[in-house]
Structure 1
Amino acid sequence: MRFTTSVLGLAATASTAAAVSAANSGIKGFNYGAFFLNQAAKQQADFAYEFNRAKSLPGTSGWTNARLYSMIQWGTASDVISAIPAAIETQTSLLLGLWVSGSDQAITNEIAALKAAISQYGASFTNLVTGISVGSEDLYRDASGEIGLPAAKLIDCISQVRSAVAGTALAGVPIGHVDTYDSFLNGTNRAVIDNIDWLGFDGYPYWELTKPNSIGDAHERFYDGFNKTLALAGSKPVYVTETGWPVSGDTVGAAVPSKENARIYWEDIACSLIRSGVNLYWYDLQESQWGTASPDFGIYPAGDLGSVTANYDLSC
């Protein structure tokens, strides 16, 4: 998650089968990090606990997909993330993520973990995969002077992943990338879109400090960015890969974190996207199980997910 709206894209050059499978189908899921706020790695039991809680939310149903940021178990070089056996255990579908910034070794290690997962878990794993995202907001970070990737390097990573899954059960799965939509609007990055199958949008009106961003402006802020992404995507489907409103934290511009405002945002944005059948990955189920995030976007507060009460009503 970044402080601006973002786009996740996938390739125009993919096969027809992959392009068809990339179409929006009303998927509902959450984003799941590889570790807790205290930097402890999530284990299989932790992921399974979260995945099962997502399937039994009060006031809503069908949240059976998980978006991951990495294929690698936190704290290891290239071990398969324990979210994979947890997904198999709970029958949770997966939008896989490969983290590619930092060094050339990053993509090598991610591909090693991806191949290992295919080999170790076979169809019980590959049948759950709805897509693969190569990187997350790397173009944005590169342009901001942070650790990211320029377009050419990112395209090379995407190509490496396509080659890695060729001839495997994941060969027809759409491959993409998460980034800010304004990064894609930059002509120097446009070539990335030509190498991806669908576009994904990360929208956070809360962080839009340079524009009116109160909860009353949130609808306009979100759909302004989303509609620009739709125009950019052309005939390619657009997913919403991250969005949410914090229940606590600092006021940013006119954006006030609160449970009441998070409920308003859910009812407006989540419910409208669900009605439209857009693939949606909310941020997030629980951000502060160990420690306290600031801001905190979690539907659930800190504590045992099986015991704590949701911060706001999830009905539409």
Structure 2
Amino acid sequence: MKTTFAGAATIGTFFLSTLTAAQSKGFNYGSTDGVGACRDEAAFEGLFNSAKTLCGTQNTPISAIQAAIDTDTQLLLGLWASAGDAVFNDEITALRNAINQYGAAFTDRVVGISVGSEDLYRSSPAGVANEAGVGVSADVVIRYIQQVRDTIAGTSLAGAPVGHVDTWTAWVLGENAGVIGAVDWLGHNSFPYFESTLANPIDQAEGVFYNALGATEGVSQGKPVWVTETGWPVSGPTSNLAVASVENAQSYWKQVGCDLFGSRNVWWYTLQDSNANQQEISFGIVGDGVPASNVPLFDVTC
């Protein structure tokens, strides 16, 4: 399972952005670039404009918000939930400050709020075995969800749907059913490339993805499931039968992405690499230049 990217979800330092109307379609963006340097407003504007034309402190709102306003980009916000109450309180302060600072220019662009990302997976037996990092229990996520609901109540963000992002292997665990009951939507992170215990070559990736999505939908209590991360690496090591290459990344886009786009909310991983700790593998569909290129490494038409 993928274990690194989700550890950065915070309104202070990370968020996801979307590009369309009826169903959201967009990319994942990190607050840092490939070498770990913080992205400023101009860098985010470049990324957002690249996506649209494609052929920092913990309690301060991330500079990407102004960039989103300037480029008319919608936002799926993420709050980091695995670093303890003090850090989460900083997240809440950042959210409150963003509402007060930007008002409707910000809140009208928010399509949803994710309280955490893969926290349940990291705290699960599989996550612990894979040394995935620090996670939290369902009880903590539920408490944080209520804290977010209390924070946005009576504000211009009150109507934003609140969810949680995790892996299908975490969603299907019975001890996490309370989180499903507490959210408005379930975020599904799924990477056939990382399903190394399964037959996962590119020609079987579509089936692996939809089996995982079906598992999440099977426990969703009828609530919508948003695909919050999926993609295929353009370079990196072989993962069981999965080969990282530009050709296979394009094949996965055509098989899975083009089927998803327009039918459900989906955010692709990723427009441009942002994880300095993941240098051996690249999911970016544009290179590391600043400003970001709008010329993808492969054909993204559907």
Which of the five TM-score ranges fits, normalised by the shorter chain? Answer: 0.7 to 0.9
Secondary structure of 1:278 counterpart? coil
| Contact 1:98 1:133 survives alignment (8 Å) | yes
Determine the C-alpha separation between the residues in 2 that align with 1:126 and 1:161.
Answer: 14
Compute the displacement of 1:77 (Å): 3.1
Residue 174 (1) aligns with residue 161 (2): yes
Compute the displacement of 1:161 (Å): 0.5
Among 248, 263, 276, the alignment partner of 1:261 is: 248
Among 151, 156, 168, the alignment partner of 1:164 is: 151
Determine the C-alpha separation between the residues in 1 that align with 2:294 and 2:114.
Answer: 32
Compute the displacement of 1:169 (Å): 0.7
Say what the alpha-carbon RMSD is for the aligned residues: 2.1
Residue 279 (1) aligns with residue 260 (2): no
Residue 92 (1) aligns with residue 79 (2): no
Aligned to 1:208: 195
Q: Map of 1:47-196 to 2, 5 A cutoff?
A: 47-58=44-55, 73=56, 76-143=57-124, 144-145=127-128, 146-196=133-183
Compute the displacement of 1:177 (Å): 0.7
Determine the C-alpha separation between the residues in 2 that align with 1:308 and 1:289.
Answer: 20
Determine the C-alpha separation between the residues in 2 that align with 1:293 and 1:272.
Answer: 30
Compute the displacement of 1:172 (Å): 1.2
Determine the C-alpha separation between the residues in 2 that align with 1:211 and 1:282.
Answer: 22
Aligned residues: 281
Secondary structure of 1:296 counterpart? coil
Determine the C-alpha separation between the residues in 2 that align with 1:152 and 1:175.
Answer: 16
TM-score by length of 2: 0.88
| Alpha carbons of structure 1 residues 291 and 305: separation in structure 2 relative to 1, 3 Å | farther
State the Cα deviation string for residues 233-258 of structure 1 (Å, max 9, x = none): 14211111000001100001010011
Q: Which runs of no fewer than 5 residues in structure 2 stay unpaired?
A: 7-20
Q: Which runs of no fewer than 5 residues in structure 1 stay unpaired?
A: 7-23, 59-72
State the Cα deviation string for residues 16-59 of structure 1 (Å, max 9, x = none): xxxxxxxx93211111111113221111111111001100011x
Aligned to 2:11: none
TM-score by length of 1: 0.84
| Contact 2:58 2:94 survives alignment (8 Å) | no
Aligned to 1:240: 227
Aligned to 1:294: 280
Determine the C-alpha separation between the residues in 2 that align with 1:228 and 1:215.
Answer: 20
Residue 33 (1) aligns with residue 14 (2): no
| Alpha carbons of structure 1 residues 155 and 26: separation in structure 2 relative to 1, 3 Å | same
Deviates more, 1:280-289 or 1:207-216: 280-289
| Alpha carbons of structure 1 residues 127 and 297: separation in structure 2 relative to 1, 3 Å | same
Determine the C-alpha separation between the residues in 2 that align with 1:218 and 1:292.
Answer: 22
Task: Considering Cα pairs closer than 8 Å and 6+ residues apart, tell me whether 1 or 2 has the greater RCO.
Answer: 1
Percent pairwise identity: 47
Compute the displacement of 1:306 (Å): 5.0
| Alpha carbons of structure 1 residues 179 and 306: separation in structure 2 relative to 1, 3 Å | closer
Aligned to 1:17: none
Q: Give, as a single letter, the amino acid of the residue that structure 2 aligns with 1:245.
A: W
Q: Give, as a single letter, the amino acid of the residue that structure 1 aligns with 2:235.
A: S
| Contact 1:292 1:302 survives alignment (8 Å) | no
Compute the displacement of 1:289 (Å): 10
